[in-house]
Structure 1
Amino acid sequence: MSAPTRESRRILVVDDNSAIHQDFRKILTRSGEGSEELDAMESMLFGGDALPGSSTTRFELDFALGGEEGVRRVRDAVREGRPYALAFVDIRMPPGMDGVETTLHMWREEVDLQVVLCSAYSDYSWDELSRKLGTSERLLILRKPFDSIEVRQMAHALCEKWELLRASHRRMEDLERMVEERTRALAEANARLLHAQKLEALGRMSAGLAHEVNNPLSYILSNLRHVVRGLETLPCPVEGVRARDDLGEACRDAILGAERIARIVQDVRVFARVDEPPRELVDVRQVMELSISMAAEALRPGLRLVRDFHEVPPVWGSEHGLGQVFLNLIINAAHALAGREEPFIRLGLLRREDGRVAVEVQDNGCGIRAEHLGRLFEPFFTTKPVGTGTGLGLSICHGIVTRLGGDIAVDSTPGQGTTFRVLLPMASRPGA
């Protein structure tokens, strides 16, 4: 604690007698007549230096002629961020507040302030002071006429105590902040773990459900297709042709519905896959070009496709998995452009300084409402009309990207467009 003793400690003297102010100035600033005698007395009492650090400690003194002025100075010092460490307060200061009332008001402004009550009279007994001020370790009594060595000793000791108290408060604040941060981090980790456990449980249930649905669905599709083929080749009289065609149309509608169920089952099976995707060196640009080709049917005429591709290193991931991610994002962007007069999609590849490759899919479509952004990657959540989406596409993309050690995020403004950003770790070497 040597550093604080080299600082200037602020002391306030509250007394209605200006001559007392001068006495404190002579004693505590080591200037004026008698200072050498005080140094010699301290040296004799304490041996060598007067007090530990006393030769390097500077006291900054302020003065107040009454209790109201003293309280105001304490309040202003706190607001300026330069609080007083110690106040010498006279008990009798007519006609305003006495020293006891002044002390109470000053403690309301600065709780750590050390106070020495000075009096030549027995205005209050110790029991009376205890009732009014409480039994406080911040309070000492000094009788007038006071001894100069005693005053200086009090100043050194109480300022040092104030410094230690402030340091203790700062340490406690630091500890509380650390506990709060760690508690918050633990809560976030627990929330992520709980979410992962829920997803795992949902994945296992979905996998079992998909398996159970897929088997009878295969029989239904097979039989429906067999019925359609039979109806097409079944000879019948002219009056029965219309009935046969109606039956065939009904079967074909049933096949479309069953095939949609089959696609949903396939999405659920992909979502439920909890094993790690295969890892290999992947040329992101090549995968992006393949995904563009596969999405050709969704890219309507008049749509402007912009390739903003920079040279990027390969990533260590799954070519099939990333292809599925890019294809899904491109098709979603194309669907968001419905009704736009000048639709465009920008596909970007960028090497970032943090050691990752950024893949961006940007559109100028309808955008996504703010209340939906936080739920986009939830399983089965969709903003599409009923019957046009399962709500698993973005959840599957999120799962693939995160299992590859990457991240996926979205920025969107309703009416202006959306940007999906996939961040993938660069591969410095195979297996890195």
Structure 2
Amino acid sequence: MSMPASPRRRILIIDDNPSIHQDFQKILSTTAATTSLDALETALFGAPQARGGATYSFDVDSASQGAEGVERVRQAAREGQPYALAFVDIRMPPGIDGVETTAQLWQADEDLQVVLCSAYADYSWEEVAQRLGVNQRLLILRKPFDNIEVRQMAHALAQKWDLSRQSRRREEELAQAVAARTQELQATNARLRQEMEDRARLEARLAQSQRLEAMGRLASGMANEISSPLGFVSTNLNHLRLALEKRTAGQPLEDPAELLEACRDAILGTDRLKRIVQDVKLFARVGPQPIMTVDVRKVVEQALARAELPPGSRVQRVVEFQEAPPVMAREEGLTQVFLNLITNAAQAMPENHPEPRIRIATRTQGTDALVEIQDNGSGIDAEHLGHIFEPFYTTKPGGSGLGLSICHGIITGFGGEISVDSTPGKGTTFRIRLPRAS
């Protein structure tokens, strides 16, 4: 089985002494003459190889002055064949010394590992650290140096150079991945923003369309509601006018009782028109209103006190008050809602009902206040139940169809909910839930 090829790394020797270059060539170049040295090195220190990798082979280049060495490093970096390691002599007259050379080498290639070689105490470690900083890319080698020490140092620093470059490449790959992911997220966010803007515009157009549709229904409902009592009033007034014209022409006056009945009917029609106008005005005012903390039980009691049952009514009122939290609302608005629902419940009782009963209850549901108004009257058919909160929808003769719509608008304006359950022949229950006042 053949061994894998040894990775080759470039080493630069910067020294003004030619014999030093020859020594490094003998020590670091892989030739038959180094076989015994390799065996001794392996016996003493173990195989000089990277963890999990093969022993390095080196290509050794030379420079006699610091400036020349810096230029070689620049050229190698430009060509994409950088040096892994440089052995740099401290003293190289007449050019720049090894410390300055090292500083310039790192400007040319920041990954380069450097070994400063010196036979004299030219600089203390503190002076070197002061000029170059404490740097993991720098080692000091004293002359005369040991061959095995040099080879071990070369292998260790070559491995360190490899790991440093691998780490840098990994960081660059991660940075590219993060940049790509960031760009993708930005594009996604831009699409989401555009979709939200498009949706907002569609919702605005839909709301406008719904408003126009509601105005159309309102106008149509008003026309239908007004036309009936208006025709009623017009018919009776015309009857009175004809009777008075006949009287003016000398003809006998019709039965005064009949004319009086026509007047009463006309007045009833005008009262009906008046109620419709009042309901429409109230309906138009439903919306955000100034609110305050309100005691629900107190408002229900006020509505019960104001509720007028039909003369001779046998309706029994059952009150079940439990603790309910205060809510944010307006007493006037809540009173109107409860009064409307109590009146509707009383009017839902058939005349022949054996035990007509209205139940009014307050309690706490979760953190909210709940009010229930229940009757055991005729109930509401399923086909009508889904429309009872719509403006002008009514199954009650003489009703405007705005009462429950107004109740719905008032309750939702306070942040609450109003719902209804009904069984034909058994009765109806309205539930009003209002959030607790904070």
TM-score scaled by length of structure 1: 0.47
Bigger CA radius of gyration: 2
